[in-house]
Amino acid sequence: MNALLPALQGARRGDRHAFAALVELLHPRAMRYALHMVGSNEDAEEAVQDTFVRVFDNLSRFREDAAFDPWFFRILANRCRTLIAKRKRRYSVIEYGDLPANASTAASTSGEFAAEIQYVLNQLPAEQREAFLLRHIEDMDYEDIAAVTGVGLSAVRMRVKRACDALRVQLNAVYQDV
C-alpha cells in the first residue's frame, strides 16, 4: 500500500498519469486473482479491465484513509462473479507463458502442479475459490475478506476451510510421491 499511496492520491485528484501508475502497480495482482477465479486469460483481462474502469469512475468516492485493497478487490471479485455466471466455464488452461525448450523436469513438474491446482480450484464452488484466493494468495485477513464478499466472518472461515480441505484431498491423492 505504501508504494500505491502516491499514485492513489494523485489519481483521486484526477491526475491521469497517477491513474496510469496505479494501473501498472495493480494490474499483475488483479490478473493473478482473476486468472485463478475465471480460468482463462481472455476472461480475466475483461474482468480486470472492467474493474479498472469502475475504479476510475468512482475513485473520487473512495475514502483516502480507508483500506484500498478490500475496496479494489470487492469490485474485482464482483466482476469475476458476473463473468463466471455469464460464461459458466468449467476448465481452461491458464497460460503463464511458454516454458523454454530446455525447461528442467522440476519446472515442468511445477507447471503441471499449477495446472492441477487450477483444475481443483475450478471444481470448487466459486465462493470457496474466491475465499481461498483472497486468504491464501492475497493474504487478506478475514475481516477484509468479509468486506470483499459481503458475507459474515463465520461464513468466510467456513469457505476457506472447505476450500483448503478439498485442495488437500485432491492434491495429496494425485501427488503422493511429489
Partner 1 sequence: MPYTRTFDTMQEERDETIERVRRAIKPLPPTDAHAVARVLSAVHGRTPQPTPRWREFLDWMRAPSLSFAAAGSVAVAALFVGYMLSGTAPTLRGPNSAAPAVAVAASPAVAEEPLPVVPVSTALDAERAVPVQFVLDMPSAASVSVVGDFNEWAIDQAPMQKFASGAWSVTIPVKPGRHEYAFVIDGKKWMADPRAPRARDNDFGKPGSVIVVNTP
Q: Check residue 52 for interaction with partner 1 (CB under 8 A).
A: yes
Q: Check residue 57 for interaction with partner 1 (CB under 8 A).
A: yes
Q: Which is nearer to partner 1, 54 or 81 (CB)?
A: 54
Q: Check residue 97 for interaction with partner 1 (CB under 8 A).
A: yes
Task: Using CB under 8 A, pick the residue from 4, 10, 87, 142 that binds partner 1.
Answer: 142
Q: Check residue 153 for interaction with partner 1 (CB under 8 A).
A: yes
DSSP for 15-56, written as a single string:
-HHHHHHHHHHHHHHHHHHHHHHH-SHHHHHHHHHHHHHHHH
Cα distances (angstroms) measured from residue 86 to each of 50, 100, 102, 123: 15, 35, 40, 17
* H helices present in 90-152, as ranges: 105-123, 126-132, 142-149
Residue in this structure with the C-alpha cell 476457506, named with its chain if needed: 160
166: Cα separation from own chain's centroid:
19
Cell representation of residue 116: 492441477
Stretch that binds partner 1, among 58-66, 76-84, 98-106, 122-130 (CB under 8 A): 58-66
Q: Which residues bind partner 1 (CB under 8 A)?
A: 12, 14, 16-17, 19-21, 23-24, 27-29, 31-32, 35-36, 45, 48-49, 52-53, 56-61, 63-65, 96-97, 110, 113-114, 117-118, 135-137, 139, 141-143, 153, 160, 164, 167-168, 171-172
